[in-house]
Structure formats: C-alpha cells, structure tokens
Amino acid sequence: MNELFQGAIKFYEEDYNNEKAFFKSLQENKPHTLFITCVDSRIDPNRLTHSKPGELYVVRNIGNLIPPFKDENDEMMEGYLATTSSIEYSICKLKVKNIIVCGHSNCGACAAVYNHDMLNEMPYVKKWLELLNPTIAKVETMRPESEHKRIWLTELQNIQQQLYNLLSYPFVEERFNRGELQIYGWYYNIMNGQILNYNLITREFKPIVRDNTH
Ligand SMILES: [Zn+2]
C-alpha cells in the first residue's frame, strides 16, 4: 500500500508541478467521449487512447454492461442507476460527442457466467450478470466447440449487444440519428495489445490500424 502513497507524493511533486498550467486548465468537466469499460485492473482508458485527464468520461462496471432502457415489462429500467445515470449525465448534460464501449480479452465476467457454482456464492454479481443473458443466448446459437471459444464469442458478442442497448435510450438514438453522437465498440486484446473496432454497418470487428477511417 505504501507504494500508492508514494505514488500520490510523486504525482503532486512531479506530474502536477511539471504541468501546473495544464492541471489548472481543468476547472470544468468537459469530456469529448464517454468511455464505458470493464472494472478490470488491466484496462487503463487514458493509456489505451493516449488521452489526458479531462478528455474521457469513464463509466466502469463488471463486464462493461449497459442495462437496456426498458425492462421485460416494457417499463423504464429502475435498477442499475449507477450506470444509467452516468450515461444520461454525460450525454444530456456534458454533451459528449462519442461513446466507446470497450470490452476486452480474458474477461472474468464473460467467463463467470458459465461458472454457476462461483456465481451462487456472489448474489450481487450473479444478479448484475443477468444483463449478459441475451448475449449468452446468442452465443449458444453459434454452437461454440470449446469453452475457450464460448468465452471469446461472449466477449465479442457482449460488445455488440451493449451498442444496441445504448441505442435503446431515446436520448442516445436521437443524437446518433442526427449525427451528433458517434458510437463505437472496441475489443482490447490484453495479450497482444491490439484493439479491434466494431463496424455497426458491416457488423465486423477489424483491427484499428493506421489509415483506417472510422
Ligand atoms: Zn472484464
């Protein structure tokens, strides 16, 4: 733990003092992008995007999940407010221009949904991961031939599902249709450092490389 306290001292003495003007320019929260990702400790949104404090409005939860706007009774979803209120605030108040849903490889959430013994010991996690049920159903139709493939497909399919869940919110859909809001799905491969981008039109994941237009 001492390392983190030493880190805080180093941040103030070195980072802050070396870039004082920049940090003093951050009086207002004016991000351009809502970045929704998993709580996984190996994901560093600013590092992955080479962005600075003030640029990304980051919403994190287990499995980078977005509850759909309406529940199974066609009523406005009333649970999961930590996630939904943050999304609403960033779009309606802060007026972000982009949304990135960033899933990743080796995701504990996408593996946990197939480990019922483990989930039965963690009722909160179990309840939260029910949001993955539509994704699991889709993956089953693909008949994965191994556990590894099943989890990998779940990770990818999950990102696509969350994009559609995002678009179920009227304030997202309207801005997206007017071209005021761009929506992207990313898949970060922790093992090889590559990030794939999902194309909503072709419905394919492709590596983000130089000279790609997104
Ligand atoms: Zn994860």
Distance 190 CA to ligand 1 centre (A): 11
Confidence at residue 212, expressed as pLDDT on a 0 to 100 scale: 64
Specify the CATH class of 31-207 in words: alpha beta
Domain boundaries, the chain: 1-26, 31-207
Check residue 123 and give its pLDDT: 97
- Given a cut of 70, the residues of the chain with pLDDT beneath it are 212-214
Residue 213: what pLDDT? Answer: 61
- Strand, helix or coil for residue 194: coil
Q: How remote is the CA of residue 22 from the centroid of ligand 1, in Å?
A: 32
Flag whether 102 is marked binding. no
Residue 75, token pair as written in the block: 């009523």
Other Cβ atoms less than 10 A from the Cβ of 125: the count is: 16
Burial annotation 80-111 (CB, 10 A radius, 16+ → b, else e): beebbebbeebbeeeebeebbbbbbbebebbb
Measured CA to CA in angstroms, residue 145 lies from 113, 128, 140, 150 at distances of 17, 27, 10, 7
Residues 6+ apart with CB under 8 A from 125: 62, 112, 119
**pLDDT computed for residue 193 by the predictor:** 97
Give the helix ranges, DSSP H, for the chain. Answer: 2-10, 17-18, 20-24, 45-49, 81-88, 108-112, 116-120, 123-128, 133-141, 147-167, 170-177
Please tell me whether 107 is known to bind a ligand: yes
* Residues in a beta bridge with 74: none
The pTM assigned to this predicted structure is 0.96
Expressed in angstroms and rounded, the spacing between residue 136 Cα and the centre of ligand 1 is 15
Q: Ligand 1 center to residue 188 CA distance, Å?
A: 10
pLDDT at 72: 83
> What's the CA gap between 183 and 45, in Å, rounded?
16
If you measure from the C-alpha of residue 126 to the centroid of ligand 1, how many angstroms do you get, rounded to a whole number?
A: 15
